[in-house]
């Protein structure tokens, strides 16, 4: 595997879940994601996509192999926004950075403006819609200016219109604040609309079965649909 210092480099020989016998989940995963590339991990539910993302995030170190993350900050957006209900939107964002960060309040205000939540600074999460909570989670991730952004089905269970607005938001934020991105999704159209590459996981234990480059205008629904049909 090439040794680009700014790349995300994944070499997972084996990942098992404990048990009698252990359950083999991942085998022989080799993947390099160059700086500022967006890669979507695609596959059916339960195939190991989130497991692999957790390994990359450092949330699980029980595997055989190595993972090299690019230098800089790491941010993760989970399926659940994971906001503290007893803290306001601004207070939830403030937890992402040290309290002595220069102009922390100004940075929070600018990020809330960027995600269309400028008027929600002092609102508690349970007073927000699910879509707005997801925007807060995205804002929190971009607030740290991550070198590596991990997204675990961040738009799942949203209605189509809300999900599309959040995909547009993500594209806009990445255009202004580029990051290396690993996106987990089971939605192939979503992957095509957001990613530079599609990496398909399959098998049991799961491995990479296909790696496809995507080169098309992201906001062109007809182009996305045509690419989707070509993958059938």
The range of the structural domain enclosing residue 216 comes to 1-72+147-232
Tell me the C-alpha distance between 41 and 198, whole Å: 6
In terms of Cβ atoms closer than 10 Å to its own Cβ (0-12, 13-18, 19+), residue 165 is middle
Q: How confident is the model at residue 231 (pLDDT cuts 50, 70, 90)?
A: confident
pLDDT in tens, 170-218: 999 999 999 999 999 989 999 999 999 999 999 999 999 999 999 988 7
Question: Is residue 16 located within the same domain as residue 108?
Answer: no
The answer for residues whose C-beta is within 8 angstroms of residue 229's C-beta and 6 or more apart is none
Q: How far apart, in Å, are the Cα atoms of 148 and each of 45, 49, 156, 186?
A: 24, 17, 21, 21
Q: Does residue 15 contact residue 49 with C-beta atoms inside 8 Å?
A: no
In the DSSP assignment, the letter for residue 48 is S
Question: Is residue 52 located within the same domain as residue 159?
Answer: yes
Question: Is residue 57 located within the same domain as residue 18?
Answer: yes
Give the pLDDT of residue 4: 61
Q: Residue 179, SS3?
A: coil
Q: What is the CATH number of the domain that holds 49?
A: 3.40.50.300
Is residue 1 predicted with pLDDT exceeding 60?
A: no
Q: How confident is the model at residue 2 (pLDDT cuts 50, 70, 90)?
A: very low
Give the pLDDT of residue 161: 87
Q: Is residue 4 part of a domain?
A: yes
Q: φ, ψ for residue 121 (rounded to 5)?
A: -55, -45
What's the whole-model pTM score?
Answer: 0.93
Give the pLDDT of residue 39: 98
Q: Is residue 56 part of a domain?
A: yes
Question: Is residue 62 located within the same domain as residue 94?
Answer: no
Max CA-CA distance within the chain? 53
Question: Is residue 165 located within the same domain as residue 203?
Answer: yes
By residue count, the chain amounts to 232
Instruction: Please state, rounded to an integer, the average pLDDT across all residues of the chain.
Output: 93
Q: Could you give the residue ranges of the DSSP H alpha helices within the chain?
A: 49-57, 89-94, 104-114, 130-143, 160-176, 188-194, 221-230
Question: Is residue 140 located within the same domain as residue 151?
Answer: no
Q: Is residue 39 part of a domain?
A: yes
Least confident segment among 43-47, 87-91, 148-152, 205-209: 43-47
pLDDT in tens, 133-172: 999 999 999 999 999 999 999 888 888 888 888 899 999 9
Mean pLDDT for the stretch of residues 6-11:
96
Q: Is residue 79 part of a domain?
A: no
Give the pLDDT of residue 155: 87
Q: Which residue among 145, 175, 192 closes a domain? A: 145
Question: Is residue 140 located within the same domain as residue 60?
Answer: no
CA angle at residue 137 from 136 to 143, to 5 degrees?
A: 85
Question: Is residue 67 located within the same domain as residue 161?
Answer: yes
Q: Which residue among 145, 167, 185 closes a domain? A: 145
Is residue 131 predicted with pLDDT exceeding 60?
A: yes
In terms of Cβ atoms closer than 10 Å to its own Cβ (0-12, 13-18, 19+), residue 183 is buried
In the block, which residue shows the tokens 């002595």? 100
Q: φ, ψ for residue 100 (rounded to 5)?
A: -95, 15
Q: How confident is the model at residue 111 (pLDDT cuts 50, 70, 90)?
A: very high
Percent of the chain with pLDDT over 90: 79
How many structural domains compose the chain? 2
Q: Does residue 25 contact residue 201 with C-beta atoms inside 8 Å?
A: no
Q: Residue 66, SS3?
A: strand
């Amino acid at each position: 595997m090439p040794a680009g210092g700014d790349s995300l480099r994944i070499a997972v020989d084996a990942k098992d879940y404990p048990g009698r016998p252990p359950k083999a989940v991942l085998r022989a995963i080799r993947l390099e994601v160059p700086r500022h590339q967006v890669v979507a991990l695609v596959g059916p539910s339960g195939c190991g996509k989130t497991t692999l993302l957790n390994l990359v995030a450092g949330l699980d170190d029980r595997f055989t192999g190595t993972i090299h993350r690019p230098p800089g900050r790491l941010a993760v957006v989970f399926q659940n926004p994971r906001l503290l209900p007893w803290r306001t939107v601004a207070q939830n964002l403030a937890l992402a950075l040290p309290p002595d960060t220069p102009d922390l309040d100004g940075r929070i205000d600018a990020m809330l403006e960027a995600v269309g939540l400028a008027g929600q600074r002092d609102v508690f999460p349970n007073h927000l819609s699910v879509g707005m909570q997801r925007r807060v989670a995205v804002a929190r991730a971009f607030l740290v200016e991550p070198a590596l952004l991990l997204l675990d089905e961040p738009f799942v269970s949203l209605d189509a219109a809300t999900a599309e607005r959040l995909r547009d938001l993500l594209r806009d934020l990445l255009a202004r604040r580029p990051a290396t991105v690993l996106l987990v999704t089971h939605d192939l159209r979503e992957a095509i609309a957001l990613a530079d590459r599609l990496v398909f996981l399959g098998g049991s234990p799961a491995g990479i079965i296909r790696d496809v480059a995507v080169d098309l205008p992201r906001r062109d629904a007809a182009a996305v649909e045509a690419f989707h049909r070509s993958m059938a």
